Structure 1
Amino acid sequence: MDLKTASALHRLRLVSAPEAVSFLVLLVCSVLKRTTTFDAVPVMGAVHGVLFVIYVLFWADAWNRTKWDLKTAALYFVLSVLPFGGFYAERKLKRAAEDEVIASRARAEGKVSA
């Protein structure tokens, strides 16, 4: 994996959890708006919207650089629109990055042919 691909995956991983948190907070704010006089939906909607757009841009960059198959790319996109999906995506991306580092070190030591 080259540096740009690793960076793209790292950026996607970093935005996954905040995007998931903003989605959950937006859901809570929506419930509070309908049950109380508290209305933070416009603010949280904007925050979540910005984070979602950033996630989609980073997702597209990661897909382009990693050459994921359609199934993998669709999985990461669907995870962005599910509650708690961003947390799962972050864990999965972290695990994939760690596996790639191990494989890269093995190739560098000549243990595995590329």
Structure 2
Amino acid sequence: MIGYVTLGVSDMEKAKQFYSDLLGDMGAKLLLDMGRIAFIGKDLSTPMLAVCTPFNGEPNNPGNGNMLALQPGSKEAVDSYYKKAIELGATCDGEPGQRIPNQFYGAYVRDPDGNKLAFFQFG
């Protein structure tokens, strides 16, 4: 159902590198680069992440309440991706931990442009 999610960024080269490095272990790579927008994912027929400079030329602004949630496959992987994001320049927006007992484990970061990301595992 989801084709791609777009995040506005201020520095395309930095954003492409950040997300390619962060999501590479999930099999994602830069698939299509069209200048002001680039698509990162496993292939063009599965859901992708797009980073772009805003079409209207105005500065990017992270949306209040907007978040991209990624499910890496285990609680240990949540911890690993959180740590990797921080090492790549993200900032903490909620350390890894159990959020809902026996149901939801998650960690939260802000990418270098302030976009909120979650890494999570149900169960």
Smaller-chain TM-score range? under 0.3
Give the number of the structure with larger relative contact order, counting CA–CA contacts within 8 Å between residues 6 or more apart.
1
TM-score, normalised relative to structure 2? 0.25
Query: Higher helix fraction: Structure 1 or Structure 2?
Result: 1
**Larger radius of gyration between Structure 1 and Structure 2:** 1
The structure with the largest strand share of the pair is 2
Q: TM-score, normalised by structure 1?
A: 0.27
